[in-house]
Structure 1
């Protein structure tokens, strides 16, 4: 019927200067930025700096304004790969 695609985690690699996976990038964990929507929402809601290459500056500016304007902060818990471990 259908053959499942075995897709590895992807990330931005500072040394490769682009998107990569564990199969395509030989660099270490310290050079990687995991792209996690959960981590992004957590950082925005806490006012934390967002890593380079995580999004376009103009989009991040809009999202920062949105999260800063919330009356009630939302608790966001990281799980699995979103923790960076």
Structure 2
């Protein structure tokens, strides 16, 4: 989880939030808090698919499937297994 978490955290901070020095917590709400909007969510899904070689279905792009960075890492890890 550590490498995946670090990679995602850095990407989200630098490319989505435009705050490269920001640290994200594993339990920090991304979607429900409005930190990531629907446009950014699509970009994030494409990044995840390309970087981790996993598929994220369009129906999974919501806070019910993953809202935190920790939940997204768990989803990626489950798909890689």
Q: What's the TM-score bracket when you normalise by the shorter of the two chains?
A: under 0.3
Which is higher, the Rg of structure 1 or of structure 2? 1
Tell me the TM-score normalized by structure 1.
0.24
Question: Does 1 or 2 have the higher relative contact order (CA < 8 Å, sep 6+)?
Answer: 2
Structure (1 or 2) with the greater strand fraction: 1
Structure (1 or 2) with the greater helix fraction: 2
